[in-house]
Structure 1
């Protein structure tokens, strides 16, 4: 039966009866201690006795305390307590309206607003975006609640009043967007300060410090996602939440600590995977993992072994994850054939007139066109299976346990997508088996270290040789060679196009990066038979 029981037959009760009938309820009955009428079937205290006849009920009482009290009584009695919204009201699909709340005629509830239970939003009231109305409040006739406001529980906003947001100054929050993000994730009223964090090329990252008994403590990492690179932030965050939540289960089965061994991403106060600021830029947040360290380059050989084992273990833990469910958030990210095509177009167009400054580097790529298709062709033939891959397996995307020195947690998960094991393996080699920084200007310092390669092979296969196929194992040396070539090609392409993708510190920065990668490719080509033999040694 599509019947509704209303506690309170006064003015608000009669209004809600009209709303209920207008949105499809067939019959409405009341409980009221004083009023009389054919549709009043008992006292308020009879709500428990009526549970056998009614499964749906609301409390329509003008007094905030009483409306909240009876709404919670109905919820405790296991009634379905719906929100009632007048057909003329405008409610954003991203707004959250909780049990027993009423949105009356021509009221407006804007984007990402959260309304708790037993709230009354009266006729003509406007609640702007990202506001939070706590339980039992009353937003009066024609009143306005500005964006990012919080109306406390049981508060009444009188008719026609305007509520403005009040915010405290947060040290380090030097933009409105950063401040909005802090409030969106619930830190605005409590965090001590924020400051830039990390050394990533792509996203804008901040450390969020919270007060504790020991003083201010780094507690969260807040990032603005670069939509020039990741133009599907919803897909990125769906991938991240899916994989990290799956990882937590896998880690528990292994007897590990999921709060330290995978990133724990935080939803906004509105329950969303990320916050979108007024300029449409997405922000996301995760818990900082204490007592961990991150290295920008290999300082001791053991670190490289640990990174290899960590990335291999990551691939193994996700072996049963439904790879087809992942969003390909950067299409063809490691499609070396298409990366070559993009370079070739940039080379031919030369829109920044930079080809003359890098002809040798361009010729280097052009001569290796045939190499670019080797792994892609095996994938297309089904020889190499798609797996859940990280796609940015640099040493600095691993947190190490500060006490034990062991690999602890894989970070920077933006590029999790379907991919080849060889790609993840190869990206680690091109970054970690180099004797110099990625942007070292003196190429005499840049060499491919075959012993570091050997150490990485051992660590990676210690974690994966029982899950990788024979063809995958044999593809690993090609992964090292082609990921290095691909990365250098990407740096060179970005240089030719005017440095629109990677962050740069000076005009030739991307060209310098490309040169280091090409030097490594040259040396890998000379050592290639030895690279293949090392892999065979560890899987036979």
Structure 2
């Protein structure tokens, strides 16, 4: 016969007696210093005398300090001190309930919550997931302890009170918006630290490290998106989720690994594709792809071949994706005619009085107005089809497998939109077939490397594998020439307008970038026939 000795025969003790009988204790008696009755068999100080007759006991005392004191005395004496859980309570199998704690009628203790010993969770109270209630605490009638809370020793949460999580300090967090984003994506209570990551011009990016048995691990990439550039963050993220989820199925059908060969986006805890901070700036999150590397500049010719193959294959993989369903998140992004018009307007307005500092560069761009319409005209005439294009095909937007050196995953999908194959091809060439970085001050170091161009052509056409039309193939050299010109005009426009688009490190940064692009355009023009011959050779 199961028997229970209860210290405390007051109202709370009577509640525990009823509950004990409901869960199978046939004989339930009390020790109490004041209350008398036929089931009160002694005073609390007599507890050791009854250990032989009653090996199981609890302390049902309403005062937190007294309940904790007597719970620990019973444990020290050698009693079994069980948790008493009312049959109507809901307790997660993963929750831990300590000795001598009481979970009363219709109380809820959720997943991975820890209740230490001598705790009272009163009727109708809720202790949500991943919370920790220290010994001797009292969670009052109908109160709510929200997720990830810590309740101190012997604290009383008043009836009906709502307790919100107190955020922990996270190393590397220097502002509230970053902290809010970490919590929005569910990392705030676990992550070890964060630190800046990458070398992008536009967005603010962080590496998020999580604890593992082997130590801290780079697990996620958290990014604050510049909504001065991307004015439709919902559309950007709708495009990214749509394309990456589609690619997972394509990659799986090809026998690849979708967790490594495309980005894996994460939604917020509220199920949103992005989080908006207190300043209205959007944040998004991806899984980090381990054992991968990213190159800022071509170090070996094979890397540029792999880059071409990767972007070509990317275009082929998305060949059946409904391009019309994509949001045009930056209208006319690669409409070189309109980019030229924007440049002309910036020169005319000259709002920062900078035009006098860049007269040769302004003249260079103005002399190429007719070139700007070559691809746009072919598109308007229906000679060049619209495809799902990346629209920012720099080498550093590819992750390479660290072991094999092969292109692994296309990243930075902010500008994925309908576009021309020539534009994607050309943007890669203007970045990767250059002998210096795009902000190199010494122009003597900046040249167009036609051997690298040839490596890319070979890889790109192998990757597209017959998908491109003859007209598209013929347009590729023009894509290289015009995307480089367009990028130079964009840098120069931003310089004239006060550096509102691209991140800059010093006042002339965008002008330096424009000069490098125009140097490349000049050398491409000199070798244009050779560029056309190379494309025809590999098609």
- TM-score class, shorter-chain normalisation, is 0.7 to 0.9
Partner of 2:369: 369
Tell me how far 1:200 sits from its aligned partner: 0.5
Query: Which residue in 2 is equivalent to 1:442?
Result: 442
User: What residue number does 2:392 align with?
Assistant: 392
Preserved contact between residue 150 and residue 165 of structure 2 (Cα < 8 Å):
no
Answer with 1 or 2: which has the greater Rg.
2
Q: Deviations over 1:429-487 (max 9, x none)?
A: 00000111101111111111111111100000011141001110010000000000000
Residues 1:66 and 1:379: Cα distance change in structure 2 (over 3 Å): farther
| TM, length-normalised to structure 1 | 0.73
Q: Deviations over 1:27-58 (max 9, x none)?
A: xxxxxxxxxxxxxxxxxxxxxxxxxxxxxxxx
CA distance in 2, matches of 1:143, 1:491: 58
Tell me, what secondary structure is at the counterpart of 1:205?
A: strand
Measure how far apart 1:142 and its partner are.
Answer: 11
Q: Which moved more, 1:484-493 or 1:446-455?
A: 446-455
2: CA distance, partners of 1:258 / 1:297: 26
1:227-376 residue pairs with structure 2 within 5 A? 227-376=227-376
Contact 1:389 1:424 in 2 (8 A): yes
Contact 2:149/2:163 (8 A) holds in 1: no
For 2:326 and 2:469, the matched residues in 1 are separated by 22
**Can you give the 5+ residue segments of structure 1 that lack an aligned partner in the other structure?**
1-62, 70-131
Distance 2:456 2:536 in 1: 14
Contact 2:384 2:472 in 1 (8 A): yes
Q: Is the 8 A contact 2:149 2:164 kept in 1?
A: no
Question: Tell me, what secondary structure is at the counterpart of 1:388?
Answer: strand
After TM superposition, list the pairs within 5 Å mapping 1:202-221 onto structure 2.
202-221=202-221
CA distance in 2, matches of 1:326, 1:521: 31
Sort the Cα spacing of 1:257 and 1:144 in 2 relative to 1 into closer, same or farther, 3 A.
closer
Count of aligned residue pairs for this structure pair = 420
> How far apart in 1 are the matches of 2:195 and 2:437?
26
Question: After the TM superposition, which of the residue ranges 206-215 and 161-170 deviates more from structure 2?
Answer: 161-170
The residue number in structure 2 matching 1:451 is 451
Cross-structure match for 1:181: 181
Structure 2 distance, partners of 1:522, 1:401, is 35
Q: Is the 8 A contact 1:134 1:151 kept in 2?
A: no
**SS of 1:211's equivalent?**
strand
Give the drift of 1:505. 0.6
Where 1:227 maps in the other structure, the secondary structure is coil
| SS, match of residue 213 in structure 2 | coil
Which residue of 2 is the match for residue 193 of structure 1? 193
Q: Who is 2:403 aligned against?
A: 403
Does structure 2 retain, via aligned residues, the 8 Å contact 1:306–1:407? yes
**Do 1:203 and 1:224's aligned partners in 2 also have CA atoms closer than 8 Å?**
yes
Deviation at 1:160, TM superposition (A): 5.4
C-alpha contact (below 8 Å) 2:130/2:148 kept by paired residues: no
Q: Which runs of 4+ in 1 moved over 3 A?
A: 63-69, 132-135, 139-146, 148-152, 156-160
Residue pair 1:149, 1:163 contacting (<8 A) in 2 also: no
Query: Which residue of structure 2 aligns with residue 82 of structure 1?
Result: none
**Paired position in structure 1 for 2:433:** 433
Find the counterpart in structure 2 of residue 66 from structure 1.
88
Q: CA deviation at 1:308?
A: 0.3
Separation in 2, partners of 1:507, 1:163: 50
Alpha-carbon shift at residue 165 of structure 1 (Å) = 2.9
Residue 216 of structure 1 aligns to a residue in which SS?
Answer: strand
Q: Following the alignment from structure 1 to structure 2, what is the Cα–Cα distance between the partners of residues 441 and 317?
A: 38
Stretches of structure 2 lacking an aligned partner (at least 5 in a row):
1-84, 92-127, 132-138
Q: Partner of 1:114 in structure 2?
A: none
